[in-house]
Homo-oligomer: A and B are copies of this chain.
Amino acid sequence: MEFHYPTGRKYVAPSDSGKRVHAPKKETIYSNRGMTLEEDLNETNQYYLANGLAVIHKKPTPVQIVHVDYKKRSTAVIKEAYFRQASTTDYNGICNSKYIDFEAKETKSPTSFPLKNIHEHQIEHMQNIIKQNGIAFVIIRFSLTEEIFLLEGKRLFEFWDRMKNGGRKSITKKELMIHGHPIELGWAPRIDYLKVIRQLYGF
């Protein structure tokens, strides 16, 4: 997870329980892009849940809590905490008996997706999921053009290995067009990734 907010700016928490939290309006054009994919996916997951199609949630942001002020019993205030690197992917759940697990990433690059957005332990996690016969993938959005691709875990691993073997440190958009699956932004659901998954896995 990356944080790009300038000094002193208020952090607007990701809405991981379905409770939407909006960033101030004037900041929505570029700096909020990092949250937009998450908001769209949360809405998508709410749509799936409300329609009995799937139960998929974003995990809360991992935080290392150091100090808590318990002045009042009911209002514990966390006074010192740090962001931690996630050890798994951000989203998981179930759809029609199938275990679903994915990471969602946005890039401002117009032409390629830098692999530094994915961490080694997330690759390992996805590999472990696939060994257990689960479905793992990544959703990539190009912020500038609003293009969204779903890339299956097994394909991602190939690009990862290429990098590990000294090859390029990113996946080009052209490669995503060939090896990934485009998702058009819709209304309800916003990002219908399950449609792609159901076609790919035939359920």
Q: Which residues of A contact B (CB under 8 A)?
A: 3, 5-11, 13, 16-18, 49, 52, 54-55, 57, 59-71, 75-88, 92-99, 101, 125, 128-129, 131-134
Asked if B82 and A78 sit within 8 Å, CB to CB, the answer is yes
Asked if A61 and B59 sit within 8 Å, CB to CB, the answer is no
> CB within 8 A of A5: which of B9, B70, B71?
B70
Nearest 7 pairs of A and B residues by beta carbon? A78-B81, A17-B87, A97-B133, A11-B68, A60-B62, A94-B99, A94-B132
Asked if B79 and A16 sit within 8 Å, CB to CB, the answer is no
CB distance from A93 to the nearest CB of B (A): 8
> Known contacts being A18-B87, A55-B132, A134-B97, is A10 close to B67, with CB within 8 Å?
yes
Residue ID in chain B nearest A121 by CB atoms: B17
Asked if B82 and A77 sit within 8 Å, CB to CB, the answer is yes
- Complex alpha-carbon distance, A183 and B101, angstroms: 29
Asked if B65 and A6 sit within 8 Å, CB to CB, the answer is no
Residues of B near A132 (CB, < 8 A) are: 54-55, 94-97
Asked if B17 and A65 sit within 8 Å, CB to CB, the answer is no
- Complex alpha-carbon distance, A193 and B76, angstroms: 33
Asked if B95 and A65 sit within 8 Å, CB to CB, the answer is no
Residue ID in chain B nearest A8 by CB atoms: B70
Residue ID in chain B nearest A57 by CB atoms: B88
Asked if B88 and A82 sit within 8 Å, CB to CB, the answer is no
Residue ID in chain B nearest A133 by CB atoms: B97
> Known contacts being A62-B60, A94-B133, is A55 close to B128, with CB within 8 Å?
yes
Residues of B near A95 (CB, < 8 A) are: 132
CB distance from A61 to the nearest CB of B (A): 7
Residue ID in chain B nearest A84 by CB atoms: B17
